Amino acid sequence: MTGQRDYEIFEAGDVTLQSGAVFPAMKLAYKTYGTLSAAKDNVILYPTSFSAQHFDTEWLIGPDGVLDPTRHFIVIPNLFGNGLSSSPSNSGDGPFPLVSYHDAIAVQHRLLTERFGITKLALVYGWSMGGMQTYHWAALHPDMVARAAVVCGSARCAPYNHVFLESVKAALSGDPAFRNGRFVEKPTAGYRAMGRVYAGWAMSHGFYRDELWREAGFTSLEDYLVRNWDTTFARRDANDLLAQAGIWQRGNISACAAFGGDLDRALAAITAHMLLMPGATDRYFDVRDNEDELPRLVNAKSAVLHPIPSQHGHRAGNPVNNPRDQAFLRAEVAALLAK
């Protein structure tokens, strides 16, 4: 994390994790967009998703985007394990401690309060692992979060979702470069295997049936798999990917001393205006998880379930080159911010 960069570092110092382990000199990378108002009441927190760094998700920010930096001060905190914040790839060769979403939110909270003096969030918005962080924020800091948009995310990692991640981890770690619990070099075959597994889970049956990959300029199914998935994860350190998959699998807003594993209690702690936007065809963050959570948000100021009507599966929540799904997200977030 040296040299030219377009982001800032929050030095959290030695952090005692939820596991009880101490993480020395923990670092949180972040980037801000827009201007913080004098009242500090225009803040949107936008946590990152699996393997993403802030520049992968900032396409959504713009005057005509889902999040408008001319009206809001937007903060993207990079999740631990993504290669910018503290991760296996930049924290030495020893075993990387078990980090949880609770640990991530604790350091993000320190960033907002200690560096900026922020005590209120107009909105927390997140997709996938970012959506799970959004749920954690709403439950752990209900006094701060006015609104929360959970996009293709859930309050805890469902068993089916856990199994999906087991297949991803097995595909990656099956590479011979994985030795004694750690990758000692780039797992070229493992990256490709992981991408092929991900391609089947991330997109829907209808996406492939209707050959929607053609809309993005791919000439054949194999062309789509090779150019879109075979190397998509090779840009990230493989040990980082495994660390983030672990955070994802352990995700559960109630798995802390405050809630004692009681999900009903954790969901009841939420007082924000809640917008749950699962992908209608998402295979691992299934709509049914949000359907189960919705009636348990008993103290939320409002709580609505608006599935994204898309054949793009999980990627409906990150529609970089998909104007239809972008328009849906933009309209839903605008309505949420108007509450």
Q: What is the dihedral of CA 186, 187, 189, 193, to 10 degrees?
A: -120
- On whether the CB atoms of residues 211 and 234 are closer than 8 A, the answer is no
E-strand stretches of 180-247: 182-183
Beta pairing, strands 123-127 & 8-16: unpaired
Q: How many Å apart are CA 286 and CA 289, to the nearest integer?
A: 6
Q: How many Å apart are CA 136 and CA 45, to the nearest integer?
A: 12
How high is the pLDDT of residue 2?
Answer: 42
Give 48-85 pLDDT, tens digit per residue.
999 999 999 999 999 999 999 999 999 999 999 999 99
pTM listed for this prediction? 0.97
Q: Output the DSSP codes for 131-153.
A: HHHHHHHHHH-TTTBSEEEEES-
Closest CA to 5 of 26, 30, 35: 30
Q: How many Å apart are CA 318 and CA 249, to the nearest integer?
A: 20
Q: What is the dihedral of CA 294, 112, 59, 5, to 10 degrees?
A: -150
Q: How many Å apart are CA 192 and CA 201, to the nearest integer?
A: 15
Question: Which residues of the chain register pLDDT less than 70?
Answer: 1-4
Cα within 13 Å of Cα(143), Cβ side: 3
Q: How many Å apart are CA 112 and CA 120, to the nearest integer?
A: 9
Q: How many Å apart are CA 232 and CA 234, to the nearest integer?
A: 6
How high is the pLDDT of residue 4?
Answer: 66
3-state helix, strand, coil in the chain (%, to 5): 40, 20, 40
Task: Label residue 120 exposed, middle or buried (CB < 10 Å: 0-12, 13-18, 19+).
Answer: middle
Beta pairing, strands 73-77 & 43-45: parallel
- On whether the CB atoms of residues 99 and 81 are closer than 8 A, the answer is yes
Sign of CA dihedral 243, 248, 250, 255: positive
How high is the pLDDT of residue 94?
Answer: 83
Helix (H), strand (E) at residue 53:
none
Which residues are part of the catalytic machinery?
128, 282, 314
Residue type, 46: Y
